[in-house]
Amino acid sequence: MIELNGITKIYGKGDAEVRALDNVNCSVKEGEMISIMGPSGSGKSTLMNLLGCLDKPSSGNYSLDGMETTTLNDDKLAEIRNEKIGFVFQNYNLLPRMTAVENVELPMLYNNMPRSERHRLALHALERVGLSDRAKHAPNELSGGEQQRVAIARALVQNPSIILADEPTGNLDSKSGEEIINIFEELNKKEGHTIIVVTHDREIASHTNRIIHIKDGKIDHEEVFSK
């Protein structure tokens, strides 16, 4: 489903040039749950942004569900993002003045959907992450782990085939982090979402089927677990 060939990403020009990714080749099959590990600055977020069609590589090819994405314009990339990809970030990125359920409704605002239907789907997404009883709470009335669950519900609400999570447990204590990775595991097993998680935490990574280790913008090695 995901196929990267010779992906290179260079930021800046001349003396300020940074080669964030250097000839990366990898593929991810539908229904896989994988993690990406590597030192700070090794290119993990750059890779996630490319996978999520938030940015384009300087060179190389990225095929997603058989479609070459590197030649598409920004509108078309946005369309693919909406349709196929859900994002979860380290800082949750929730809007503080909205309730949990309103935050989850946000991605559907542009879908031309009746308000009641949006609301119903958002409540269902909160149910899938075990947060039904917090729907009317504002983000600052929720723990970090609960806020991240709201963010996961928001990523899920349009049923993306791929979920990309960049250090989703980075701000959480180990118990809340464990709860978050358990939710991802369940979504992967029960609903078949393909999940890619960046983490510094080996314990979190051990919940996935494969670890891709990145170093200096290159894939250093992979570990595959049989589960």
Ligand X SMILES: Nc1ncnc2c1ncn2[C@@H]1O[C@H](COP(=O)(O)OP(=O)(O)O)[C@@H](O)[C@H]1O
How far apart, in whole angstroms, are the C-alpha atoms of residue 24 and residue 151? 29
46 is a contact residue toward Mg ion (CB under 5 A): no
The pair of structure tokens assigned to 185 is 């595991």
Say if strands 2-11 and 67-68 run parallel, antiparallel, or are unpaired: unpaired
Interacting residue with Mg ion among 35, 42, 45, 169 (CB under 5 A) = 45
84 is a contact residue toward ligand X (CB under 6 A): no
Give 45 or 69: the residue with its C-beta nearer to Mg ion. Answer: 45
User: Which helix (H) or strand (E) element contains residue 64?
Assistant: strand 59-64
Interacting residue with ligand X among 44, 128, 134, 154 (CB under 6 A) = 44
45 is a contact residue toward ligand X (CB under 6 A): yes
Interacting residue with ligand X among 26, 34, 42, 153 (CB under 6 A) = 42
211 is a contact residue toward ligand X (CB under 6 A): no
- CB of residue 214 to Mg ion, shortest distance in Å: 10
The pair of structure tokens assigned to 24 is 């990366």
**Beta carbons of 209 and 34 less than 8 angstroms apart:** yes
Give 44 or 118: the residue with its C-beta nearer to Mg ion. Answer: 44
Residue 171 Rama label (left phi>0; alpha psi -120 to 50; beta):
alpha
- CB of residue 11 to Mg ion, shortest distance in Å: 13
The pair of structure tokens assigned to 213 is 């280790």
Give 123 or 219: the residue with its C-beta nearer to ligand X. Answer: 219
How far apart, in whole angstroms, are the C-alpha atoms of residue 153 and residue 159? 10
Contact residues toward Mg ion (CB under 5 A) are: 44-45
Contact residues toward ligand X (CB under 6 A) are: 11-12, 18, 20, 38, 40-46
